[in-house]
């Protein structure tokens, strides 16, 4: 969505958009699965599983994971695959469970993934409960965001995400609580959603409400190359809400610099938006070359929920309206790019982050990684 940075017409070197195949080809998506999504991918925020025994299911490129808060207080992720004959164990999210039971033959696992029940198998020669724990995937938590990795060959999270560690601590994101989660099916390639998020060149034409709440030509970017891109936008009021007023207590000690809208795209699938009174994020999951699932979530400080002035719907509505405008224009772009009439176009200086995104993307796609 929105961000701004305006190299001048004389300092910006014009760059072409990518050829159509990068938005339409299943083969390219297959390469992206390994090279772009083969590292650390975000599956959600810890507040979704705030208590022991809470879990949710996450689906990434057909792999279904159980992301669980164990009875011992840790966050873990397992393949949603029974160790008996491979059946999917859970078909929906759960709350406060003591164990997970496969519906097929009732093999049962504790929240740590250990097999604790297998009818008729106790004492069977050569059978080991210990050898039949659920298979876990690598997991790391940054600012409350849960990231998973299917591979042991990737860099550590601390190496990969070094530019972001500690960067947003003023917003206390790890301590915030989810008020609302919305799921959108967007018939557009995942990169079009990233690109659209990274410019406000379109704000005047697509977002009448948002254009009243923020100055689309204001602000600056502080991450301008690489996998993480973004910066801030000046607000015309106090927050990005339908009323332009804050709708909840501040999420932290907000100085003048924090009383803005901050917007960052974080490869491979997290779009982060920070405001003085709430934080929201989108997770983008490719379903095919031309379809993406977007999960958007609004987070507030825990104290907000008991605050008399708490009007979270003002934040939800502002972005639900804006999101739908964005998804619609992404779908329209997907249609045009899929036409024989599409030829790579030229980015404007107000789309410098998109040019940077494409440069980094092509570097990774051509790498041996």
Return residues touching ligand FES (CB under 6 A). Answer: 82, 84-85, 87, 102, 104-107
Nearest Cα neighbor of 285 from 68, 103, 29 is 29
CA gap 185, 285 in Å, rounded: 10
Residue 67 touches which member of ligand FES, Fe ion, none, C-beta under 5-8 Å by kind: none
Q: Which residue has the tokens 């494409």?
A: 358
Q: Among residues 176 and 203, whose Cβ is nearest to Fe ion?
A: 203
Is 188 near Fe ion (CB under 5 A)? no
CA gap 305, 314 in Å, rounded: 14
CA gap 270, 266 in Å, rounded: 5
Residue 61: CB minimum distance to ligand FES, A: 23
Q: Among residues 114 and 348, whose Cβ is nearest to Fe ion?
A: 348
Residue 85: CB minimum distance to ligand FES, A: 4
Residue 85 touches which member of ligand FES, Fe ion, none, C-beta under 5-8 Å by kind: ligand FES
From the list 58-66, 211-219, 318-326, 354-362, the region that binds Fe ion by CB under 5 A is 318-326
Is 326 near Fe ion (CB under 5 A)? yes
Q: Among residues 111 and 322, whose Cβ is nearest to Fe ion?
A: 322
Q: Among residues 74 and 85, whose Cβ is nearest to ligand FES?
A: 85
3-state DSSP: the chain helix, strand, coil percent, rounded to 5? 30, 25, 45
Residue 335: CB minimum distance to Fe ion, A: 18
Note whether 248 and 305 are within 8 A (CB).
no
Compute the half-sphere exposure of residue 294: CA atoms within 13 Å on the CB side of its CA.
Answer: 26
Residue 92: CB minimum distance to ligand FES, A: 17
**For the chain, where are the alpha helices, taking DSSP H only?**
21-24, 26-35, 157-160, 190-197, 203-206, 208-213, 313-337, 352-366
CA gap 357, 294 in Å, rounded: 19
Residue 106: CB minimum distance to ligand FES, A: 6
Q: Among residues 54 and 326, whose Cβ is nearest to Fe ion?
A: 326
Q: Among residues 87 and 133, whose Cβ is nearest to ligand FES?
A: 87
Applying CB under 5 A, the residues found at the interface with Fe ion are 1, 326
């Amino acid at each position: 969505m929105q961000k701004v940075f305006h190299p001048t017409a004389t300092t910006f070197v014009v760059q072409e958009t990518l050829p159509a195949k990068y938005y339409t080809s299943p083969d390219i998506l297959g390469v992206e699965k390994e090279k772009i999504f083969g590292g650390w991918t975000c599956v959600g925020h810890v507040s979704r599983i705030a208590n022991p025994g809470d879990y949710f299911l996450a689906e990434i490129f057909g792999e279904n994971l159980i992301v669980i808060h164990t009875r011992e207080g840790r966050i873990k992720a397992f393949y949603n695959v029974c160790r008996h004959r491979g059946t999917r164990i859970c078909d929906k999210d759960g709350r406060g469970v003591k164990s997970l039971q496969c519906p097929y033959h009732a093999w049962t696992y504790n929240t740590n993934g250990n097999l604790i029940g297998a009818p008729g198998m106790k004492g069977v020669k050569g059978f080991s409960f210990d050898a039949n724990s659920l298979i876990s995937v690598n997991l790391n938590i940054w600012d409350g965001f849960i990231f998973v990795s299917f591979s042991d060959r990737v860099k550590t999270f601390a190496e990969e995400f070094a530019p972001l560690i500690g960067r947003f601590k003023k917003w206390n994101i790890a301590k915030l609580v989810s008020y609302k989660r919305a799921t959108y099916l967007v018939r557009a390639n995942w990169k079009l959603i990233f690109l659209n998020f990274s410019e406000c060149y379109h704000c005047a034409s697509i977002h009448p409400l948002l254009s009243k709440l923020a100055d689309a030509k204001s602000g600056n970017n502080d991450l301008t190359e690489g996998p993480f891109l973004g910066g801030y936008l000046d607000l015309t009021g106090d927050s990005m809400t339908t009323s332009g007023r804050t709708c909840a207590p501040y999420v932290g000690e907000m100085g003048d610099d924090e009383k803005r809208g901050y917007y960052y795209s974080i490869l491979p699938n997290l779009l982060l938006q920070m405001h003085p009174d709430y934080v929201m994020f989108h997770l983008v999951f490719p379903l095919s070359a031309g379809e993406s699932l977007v999960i958007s979530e609004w987070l507030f400080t825990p104290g907000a929920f008991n605050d008399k002035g708490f009007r979270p719907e003002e934040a939800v509505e502002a972005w639900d309206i804006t999101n739908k405008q964005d998804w619609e224009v992404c779908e329209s772009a997907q249609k045009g790019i899929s036409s024989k009439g599409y030829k790579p176009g030229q980015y404007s200086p107000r789309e410098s982050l998109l040019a940077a995104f494409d440069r980094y993307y092509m570097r990774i796609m051509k790498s041996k990684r």
